[in-house]
A and B are shown apart, each in its own frame.
Chain A
Amino acid sequence: MRILLTLLLVYIANPAVAQQENDLGTEAQRAEGKEVYDIKCAHCHGYEGDASAVATPYLRPTPRDFTSGNYKFRSTASGELPTTEDIKRSIRLGMPYTSMPAWEGILSETEITNLAYYLKTFESAFDGPYGNPTVVEIPRAPSYSADPDHLARGREVFEANQCADCHGENGRGNGESAPELVDDWGYPIRAADMTKRWTFRASATREDIYRTFMTGLNGTPMPSYEQTIDEEDRWALVDYVWSLSRDTPDYGTTVTVQGRSGELVLGDSLFEAAPETYFPIVGQIIEPGRAFYPGVNGISVKAVYNESEIAIQLQWHDMTAETEGMNNPGIEVPMFDPAQPDTLMDGWSDAVAALLPSRTPEGLERPYFMFGDSRFPMSIWYTDLATDSAAVLTGQGSGRIADNGIALERSASYEDGVWTVQFKGPRSRGELTMSEATFVPISFTVWDGFNGERGNKRGISAWYHLYLQPMETQSAVLPMAKWFLIVLGAELLIVALVNLRARRRKTA
């Protein structure tokens, strides 16, 4: 017994003894992995696996440098190497809302396995005594509980572990230290916005969330909380994080604009009952001044109207409010503005615009969605958030934006990671009339000053619609009753005629 115990101790204390054979694949597998890698991966991760390649400077988060052995997604303890299965999983599922696509279905399972073995060759530690790390077991998740006490406990754990320092008081990725976060390579890195779980890099099931704070994200400021939170509290925290967001982004295409009687007074209560639509925001990479990694990835929109005016509310998450400096859609931006660590104040303020056609569109025609063109100019409802005013600019294309001195009523506030901007203007101005029961094209642009966005370097959206719901909808009851009676009458007539004829024939 004593011998057995001693053996066991030696076994535990000495990883070299404990080590099973490292899972490195065969030479043929690694060679085949290299073939796939050079075609599919090298342009972002580098032919030497060092994240130095043609596309790398344009991407943020920066593609993984495999020579460091630092893998964000792992099932192993903080600081350890990943397992082969972990690497394969990252390849399979990709990283949502980054340039890393999901390769499942594109590469075969064999190719993915070979790739994982090839990736391991970039870091010699995989061949060393720590090359075969142990997996942190993830217990089966108890079913989700929205019990207020349970979520309140989760909130306590959230606070006790200072999650808010980076992720923000309400998890919007806007914590106090969020702007300064960098990864191990000195590149800026954003704390996850917990209210958008579809953007979670290591997937977003409750087990995934559990694993992320158990294992931490190597190479990033996200540590492991394995030692500090006990089992029950872990699930309380998971459920609290889970409760902060809906399942999917639920992107819409039309804002339903409700009618209101009386004056439209800008403020929270005006939009309280109005339906909200969420739109994706992506980088402007179409014209010079391209924004490859916009700071904002979605915008929520509400709108209401009365007899003569329309009010539009735009809301988006922003890590920091840049209310100093300046911005303008017309600012010239160099063709290539490479990724660089942000500096807190580069002098660019946050700004936002709702883009409308300058005249009521006929058919499908509308202005070119990049600030319009001379054929069909655009009305740009614009506000620079360093100022307290807004204006309607006229766009005939990038670099051809005129301010004709048309002021627009505006209200703006920034609270706990959320910008809220409200515009109010006439429903009819110039050649544009927003009539009831019609669809009016609209698109959106957001400038994150912190991210150096100004001029044409901006987050943009495609054309979507405002639909002005008629104030009075026609009831269906009358036409329904009318047609019911008409059809019934016709039937009675037919049946009566047929019966009459049949009786006549009988008597004849």
Chain B
Amino acid sequence: MNLFMLLAIAAAMVLIQFVVTRWVKLNRLAWMGIWWAALWAAFSYGINPPLPNSIIVLFMAIITIALVAYLSADNEELKQAKESIVRFMVTRQYRVALLIVMLVIPGAVAAWIFASMNEAPQPPSSGRTIHPPPPSSITFQGTSINLTTANNPIRELQHTDEAAFAEHVANGRRIYFENCFYCHGDNMEGAGMFAHGYDPLPANFNDATTIAMLQESYLFWRIAKGAPGLPSESTPWSSAMPAWEDFLTEEEIWDVIIFLYEFTGFEPRAQGMPH
């Protein structure tokens, strides 16, 4: 939300309603035009991150239909609106204004054609699935792991043996800073020293939509199998996530998962929780 912009639009509307109308009487048609423009400005400039153009076009089409429906709901209103348009077209004193409008509209169409033909060509955009559904089981270094039932074996220690748990956290820290922080960063914000050279960018674990909404078995799959283990809708050919089964043992992966949660303060999404 771009609050400043939205407030400015609202202020402009209030100004028109209470100040401008003192001098200029606005008929229903003019009001509809003003509402249309205000909503277009709100969608185009009032929302952050900006809406895609296609969505704005869709919204404005719906709004146009709604405004026309509103106008045609009352016969008297419709008649008035129609008459004001006809009056603009036939009255001699509006002739210059009519000429200007008649030239501006095709001019705008021509300008739009010019702009669209001179647009810099865009490379194919890569909409990719960020958290694809995991397979039900994987083969890790020769043994099969069932991802739907797998639990982090270290997690139990959290409540039964604090000292042993702390050791696993420390080991996870070592693994993270030997292997992961070049991309995922010192603060797990995905801004490590090599992050700028990869596309897609490394995941930000502080973001509530990454490890906070995933189960530990899901993380195990993503870490063990890396980019090559992704389905094609997640563009496995461009992700720089290594398949860590080539570097780490099963316990090391569980340790580093524990460390990710300890460092960010998130809890893993529990098994069996509804999606």
Chain A residues near B (Cβ < 8 Å): 40, 43-44, 53-55, 58, 97-99, 101, 106, 251, 253-254, 280-283, 285-288, 292, 335, 363-369, 373, 376, 437, 439, 460-463, 465, 467, 474, 476, 479-481, 483-488, 491-492, 494-495, 498-499, 502
Contact = CB atoms under 8 A, between A and B. Distances in A.
Interface in B228-253: 228, 232, 235-238, 240-242, 246-247
A98 B199 CA distance: 20
A499 B90 contact: yes
Contact of B197 (A254, A288, A462): A462
B242 A286 contact: yes
Nearest to A285: B182
Given A251-B196, A282-B197, A484-B106, A365 B123 contact: no
Contacts of B106: 483-488, 491
For the complex of A and B, 7 pairs with smallest distance between CB atoms = A282-B197, A487-B106, A43-B177, A282-B194, A462-B199, A480-B110, A280-B197
9 contacts: A55-B178, A58-B182, A288-B246, A365-B237, A368-B237, A369-B237, A483-B106, A484-B106, A502-B90
Contacts of B102: 488, 491-492, 495
Given A286-B242, A287-B246, A483-B110, A253 B89 contact: no
Given A286-B242, A484-B106, A58 B178 contact: yes
B124 interface: yes
B123 A439 contact: yes
B144 interface: no
Contact of B238 (A287, A335, A463, A476): A463
Contact of A97 (B109, B185, B193, B199): B193
Interface of B: 86, 89-90, 98, 102-103, 105-107, 109-110, 113-114, 117-118, 121, 123-124, 126, 128, 173-174, 177-178, 181-183, 185-187, 189, 191-194, 196-199, 226-228, 232, 235-238, 240-242, 246-247
Contacts of B189: 106
B118 A476 contact: yes
Given A54-B178, A101-B185, A368 B193 contact: no
A282 B105 contact: no
A55 B90 contact: no
Nearest to A469: B121
A44 B177 contact: yes
Given A43-B173, A43-B177, A281 B193 contact: no
B240 A286 contact: yes
A179 B187 CA distance: 34
A463 B108 CA distance: 38
Contacts of A488: 102-103, 106
Given A101-B191, A491-B106, 18 more contacts: A55-B178, A101-B187, A282-B194, A366-B237, A367-B237, A369-B237, A462-B197, A463-B237, A467-B121, A467-B123, A480-B114, A483-B110, A483-B113, A484-B107, A484-B110, A491-B105, A495-B89, A498-B86
A476 to B, nearest CB: 4
B246 A366 contact: no
B87 to A, nearest CB: 9
Contacts of B199: 462-463
A484 B196 contact: no
